[in-house]
Structure 1
Amino acid sequence: MSALALVMTSPGFAGPAHAEPVQVKPLSVRSVAPMGAEAAALTAKARGGQARSALAARPDRPARTQAARSFYELQLNLCNSGKAGCYAGGQSIYEGGDLIYYLAPDLVTLNEICSVDLPNYLQPSLAEAWPNDWTYSVFYPALDKPTGNPITCTNGGTYGNAVLGRVPAALWQGANGWVGEYTTQDSGNEVRTFACAYAVGDHLSCATHLSANSEPIALTQCQALMFSAVPYIRSQEGISGKTVVGGDFNLEYDTSDPENAQNCVPSGNTRKGDGDVQHVIFSNDFTFVSRSLYGLTYTDHDGMLIRLTKP
């Protein structure tokens, strides 16, 4: 793995006059090959997904198999570190995974999960929703500022952010991971980070969780991601457009507030939010269709589904 690269705003990319640098490095992607519908059903049964079975039986489960041009992004903050007041003994991972299976999104941006949650339940949930397609995930932990080590969860994994996605088998060309740390951090002990993945030829996605202690710093971090890191990754991959960034920004949309979430949206992009601190920013080669919120029992944030179409 290469060392972190300190990158500045890309030349010619319209951004803040003093955009912060950000540290970015490549990271391997966890890819899962298509398993087929029969194997997916056996896998679900073996894992004892009672809630999964109940969701599968619902007559209103969205039919995604024919939606060739649709692109659904699901934003989830699952509060699973074990150290916050919203922690519910790991139940949010099952609830979130079942929502992933039920909605069958193309992309999930995840905050406050643990590294073991992805292979144990979240990625299998997406793989079972799309048994004939490839899925991928990239996880990157938040860091403990005094030690520089990853923050640990009570379930034994490391705590952080992830992107989880699917690509139709006929379009799969592999995926490349990119992760990083913000140069500007608040006074707390958590070093805020981000995780990105480029599904080659299909889309670029990123997930992040920004400062909870300072809105000005959260905005600085958001601008570093959107005006520095994302353009840098695009340039390294030789791509433009088809980019979706989601997360808990700890910023609200408020035009009277200098720390308005809209202030980290580059030209050529659109933002949609949950009316609180979760947002999704996507490049304008996607077309916005609708937004839905899903109340969750075991975390303090709604699930937010953004329905898009793409070329």
Structure 2
Amino acid sequence: MIRLLLTRLRALSLGCLAAAGLVLFPATATATAAAPAPAGTQPGNAGPPYSLLQMNLCLSGYAGCYAGTQYPKVVDEAVARIRANDVNAVTLNEACSGDVADIAARTGYHVRFATVIYRGAPLPCKTPGDRGVFGNAVLTKEAIRASQDAPFPVFSGVEQRRWLCVTTARGVDVCTSHLSTDGEAPGSANSAQCAELTQVLADRGRPTLFAGDVNRRSSCAPEGFWTLTDAAAAQAPGIQHAYGNLRAPSLEVEPATYTDHDVMVVRARLPR
């Protein structure tokens, strides 16, 4: 009699829970084991958070995407994204030195700029002029203790390609580059630059975070680094990459209104 009463009470309870939209699993149910995390992504031994924002700004005034920037709205958008995400570092491609100085002043970040040589000389940005010269930049919240930049010896067309790395007072290296657009097939300028970039990052010897427009889908990350890409972007998906040896990386892709690439926001944790 007691067993029958308990059975009826249990049936009544289950019916009430089901009516409320709740699901019960049998006590014998087991959770499916998650797949192992990729190398370098485990949160073990993770220290303080570190974040980065990557944008290609199409600021030269020469490229076909420039009309869509509605200058200076593209600069205002970059400032707004940096402020909203409150990142530790920013990497910028297809930028102009004057605009980068403006962005740094408005956000309070430290900055290094690397001039890209075009037809054998620095390229003055135009429409409007007086915006400095064309290149790439790294901005950081922490003071910059050192920086390095160098051209890739192989490039296609008339635009030299360069890499830029800074070392912050926190002991973190932040790097960027914008690789050639001739494809990633073996023997292309892009593939040669990718191989050199791999070595540059492997040689840093500190916690390192790279982001940039690499114009390819396969990774240039050295062994032991993870890779994140903007494959989920609405604009030019898959060719902006982030590489690093920090812990527990994650990526958010945010739509950009005034440039032809979306925004990458990378969040990770420094090693202890």
TM-score band, normalised by shorter chain: 0.7 to 0.9
Residue in 2 aligned with 1:95?
77
For 1:84-233, what aligned pairs fall within 5 Å after superposition?
84-87=63-66, 88=69, 89-120=71-102, 122-127=103-108, 135-145=109-119, 148-154=120-126, 155-156=129-130, 157-167=132-142, 174-186=144-156, 188-215=157-184, 216-227=188-199, 229-231=200-202
Shift of 1:231: 4.6
* Kept after mapping to 2: 8 A contact 1:98/1:125: no
> Match for 1:298 among 258, 261, 270?
258
Percentage identity across aligned positions? 30
Shift of 1:201: 4.5
CA RMSD of aligned residues (A): 1.7
> Match for 2:214 among 230, 249, 261?
249
* Kept after mapping to 2: 8 A contact 1:100/1:125: no
Report Cα offsets for 1:65-101 as digits up to 9, x if no partner.
xxx8111111100111111121122321110111001
Report Cα offsets for 1:17-55 as digits up to 9, x if no partner.
xxxxxxxxxxxxxxxxxxxxxxxxxxxxxxxxxxxxxxx
Task: Report the AA paired with residue 271 of structure 1.
Answer: T
Take 2:268 and 2:228, find their aligned partners in 1: how far apart are those partners?
11
Q: In the alignment, is residue 282 of structure 1 matched against residue 244 of structure 2?
A: yes
Take 1:118 and 1:221, find their aligned partners in 2: how far apart are those partners?
25
Q: Secondary structure at the match of 2:64?
A: coil
Could you list the runs of 5+ residues in structure 2 that have no partner in the other structure? 1-46, 232-237
Q: What TM-score do the two structures reach when normalised by structure 1?
A: 0.64
Q: In the alignment, is residue 273 of structure 1 matched against residue 229 of structure 2?
A: yes
Aligned pairs, how many?
210
* Kept after mapping to 2: 8 A contact 1:178/1:195: yes
Q: Secondary structure at the match of 2:122?
A: coil
* Kept after mapping to 1: 8 A contact 2:101/2:111: no
Could you list the runs of 5+ residues in structure 1 that have no partner in the other structure? 1-67, 128-134, 235-239, 253-260
Moved runs in structure 1, 4+ residues, more than 6 A? none
Task: Report the AA paired with residue 92 of structure 1.
Answer: V
Take 2:158 and 2:58, find their aligned partners in 1: how far apart are those partners?
18
Take 2:55 and 2:208, find their aligned partners in 1: how far apart are those partners?
18
Take 2:179 and 2:64, find their aligned partners in 1: how far apart are those partners?
18
Residues 141/126 of structure 1: CA separation in 2 closer, same or farther (3 Å cut): same
